């Protein structure tokens, strides 16, 4: 094969003026693709990363950018906002707190409250709680997940949904077409036969070249709503990989179970996504009629959403703003730490200002390139006073931010470019001393089982510094 390609290449170069034509074609390719990238008006570092990466891939780079390059979904975003208006408004806290105002302005969701919030650590806590809630459903079950695997965990959730659908309960399951690609349609046939509905978010349609594919824009959300009264949100997917009862190397992760008015917001979000993915809206009035009465609780909650259907990067902004508002401590746990300039400056400024700033990341990510890229930030962080911890041997998958003794953000969003800009994400901003104390206790235990990175860590040129610097070049693309 290689010899054939070499022969074709030499034959091409033997043609009259071949080199001049190839050079002109490359210049036209680079100018055309470069103009397209520049018109996206992204950060200069991201723009340069794309230009440098694709300049070395003549012609092939066009198709790579066409499929995986950043996109905005303006039309879809407008449809999603119109859908949300169909549900009745709920009562909410009229607080004028700056963070809440910022959150409402960037997401369109008003502040609300919860009467019960429980931290669920790992799948061994989350899955039984979810199965119990599904079994108690009397009207509907709504699930939206990035990954649902056809393994023991996935089958147990599917079978629980089948049982409810067979009992006449409305079951709607929305899964990401790429994240859940191993769960084929035949896997869900028994659920569909029982009366349940299954939809795939952004299925790749590469056979339609006239429509730009949405392969790179995924729903990374992990939410569930049962009868509008119980909700789940966090980072735990539906897979044996997150259940230590099934695998000794299961991910370490965190989820929330909530009750109260905040569940209404999760319901709004699911309906938005379901209507966007399927076009189905006929059930909205029916759902609105069975929603529980408003019952304000003691935990102030704000639903945070972000994705390529909004230019505001709400979750990114809220993280940065919360860090800037910190007075005593900032504790951040994330499996993927690839910050932009604003986020990195916020963390280092907090540490330089004398705050207790800690970062918890996995010792080894599920991607070597990401692991190296994350480590490339260590020196700047540690020199500013940030305490960096590596969790292992299990893969840390928790996404949580704790600020002082009152504020917490927990959800699906990683601390990286992809979560802040490309993925559809969902997190909760919680203003509660009780929840903050529980999260503090959890993270304290995680720090005790992690190793603090030393400023004097070995950094040989070829084994550490050069690979980390190289991986850093791809930060805006990860």
Contact 401/425 with Cβ under 8 angstroms? no
CA distance 411 to 304: 9
Beta bridge partners of 232: 224, 257
CA distance 254 to 319: 18
> Which of 220, 255, 265, 319 does the annotation list as catalytic?
220
- Provide the residue count of the chain: 478
> Which of 227, 272, 273, 309 does the annotation list as catalytic?
227
> Which of 122, 253, 399, 416 does the annotation list as catalytic?
399
∠ CA(239), CA(241), CA(242), 5° rounding? 80
Tokens of 44: 């200069």
Where b means 16+ CB within 10 Å and e means fewer, 70-85 reads: bbebeebbebbeebbe
> Which of 122, 272, 309, 404 does the annotation list as catalytic?
404
Classify 359 as helix, strand or coil: strand
> Which distant-in-sequence residues (6+ apart) come within 8 Å of 279 by Cβ?
none
Is residue 220 annotated as part of the catalytic site, yes or no? yes
- CA distances to 273, 411, 429 from 302, in Å: 18, 12, 5
SS3 for 397-445 is CCCEEEECCCEEEEECCCEEHHHHHHCEEEEEEEECHHHHHHHHHHHHH
CA distance 87 to 97: 25
E strand segments, 215-369? 223-226, 230-234, 254-259, 299-306, 329-333, 337-338, 356-362
Where b means 16+ CB within 10 Å and e means fewer, 417-436 reads: bbbbbbbbbbbbbbbbeebb
Is residue 397 annotated as part of the catalytic site, yes or no? yes
> Which of 126, 272, 397, 416 does the annotation list as catalytic?
397
> Which of 140, 142, 222, 300 does the annotation list as catalytic?
222
CA distance 242 to 182: 16
Is residue 159 annotated as part of the catalytic site, yes or no? no
Is residue 325 annotated as part of the catalytic site, yes or no? no
CA distance 327 to 158: 45
Provide the annotated active-site residues. 220, 222, 227, 397, 399, 404
């Amino acid at each position: 094969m290689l010899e054939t390609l070499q022969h074709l290449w030499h034959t091409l170069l033997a043609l009259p003026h071949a080199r001049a034509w190839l050079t002109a074609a490359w210049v036209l390719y680079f100018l055309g693709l470069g103009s397209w990238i520049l018109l996206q008006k992204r950060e200069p570092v991201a723009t340069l990363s794309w230009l440098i990466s694709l300049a070395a891939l003549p012609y092939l780079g066009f198709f790579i950018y066409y499929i995986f390059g950043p996109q905005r979904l303006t039309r879809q975003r407008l449809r999603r906002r119109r859908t949300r208006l169909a549900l009745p408004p709920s009562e909410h806290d009229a607080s004028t707190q700056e963070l809440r105002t910022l959150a409402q302005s960037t997401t369109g969701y008003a502040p609300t409250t919860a009467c019960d919030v429980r931290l669920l650590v790992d799948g061994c806590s989350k899955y039984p709680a979810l199965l119990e809630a599904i079994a108690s459903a009397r009207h509907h079950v709504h699930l939206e997940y990035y990954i649902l695997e056809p393994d023991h965990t996935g089958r147990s959730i599917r079978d629980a949904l089948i049982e409810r659908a067979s009992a006449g309960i409305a079951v709607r399951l929305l899964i990401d077409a790429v994240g859940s690609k191993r769960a084929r349609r035949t896997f869900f046939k028994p659920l569909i036969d029982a009366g349940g509905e299954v939809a795939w978010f952004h299925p790749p349609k590469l056979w339609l070249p006239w429509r730009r594919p949405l392969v790179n824009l995924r729903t990374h959300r992990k939410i569930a709503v049962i009868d509008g009264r119980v909700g789940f949100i966090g980072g735990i997917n539906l897979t044996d990989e997150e259940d230590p009862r099934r695998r000794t190397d299961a991910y370490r992760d965190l989820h929330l179970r909530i009750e109260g008015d905040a569940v209404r917001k999760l319901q709004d979000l699911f309906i938005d996504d379901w209507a966007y993915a399927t076009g189905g809206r006929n059930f909205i009035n029916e759902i609105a009629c069975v929603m529980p009465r408003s019952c304000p609780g003691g935990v102030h909650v704000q639903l945070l959403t972000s994705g390529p259907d909004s230019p505001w990067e709400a979750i990114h902004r809220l993280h940065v703003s919360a860090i800037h508002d910190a007075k005593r401590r900032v504790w951040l746990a994330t499996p993927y730490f690839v910050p932009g300039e604003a986020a990195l400056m916020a963390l280092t400024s907090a540490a330089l200002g004398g705050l207790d700033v800690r970062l918890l990341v996995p010792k080894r990510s599920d991607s070597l390139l990401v692991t190296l890229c994350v480590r490339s930030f260590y020196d700047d962080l540690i020199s500013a006073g940030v305490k960096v911890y590596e969790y292992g041997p299990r893969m840390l998958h928790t996404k949580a931010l704790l600020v002082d003794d009152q504020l917490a953000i927990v959800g699906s969003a990683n601390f990286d470019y992809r979560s802040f800009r490309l993925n559809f994400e969902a997190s909760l901003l919680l203003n509660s001393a009780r929840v903050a104390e529980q999260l503090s206790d959890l993270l304290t235990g995680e720090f005790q089982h992690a190793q603090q990175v030393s400023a004097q860590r070995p950094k040989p040129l070829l084994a550490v510094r050069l690979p980390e610097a190289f991986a850093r070049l791809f930060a805006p693309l990860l």
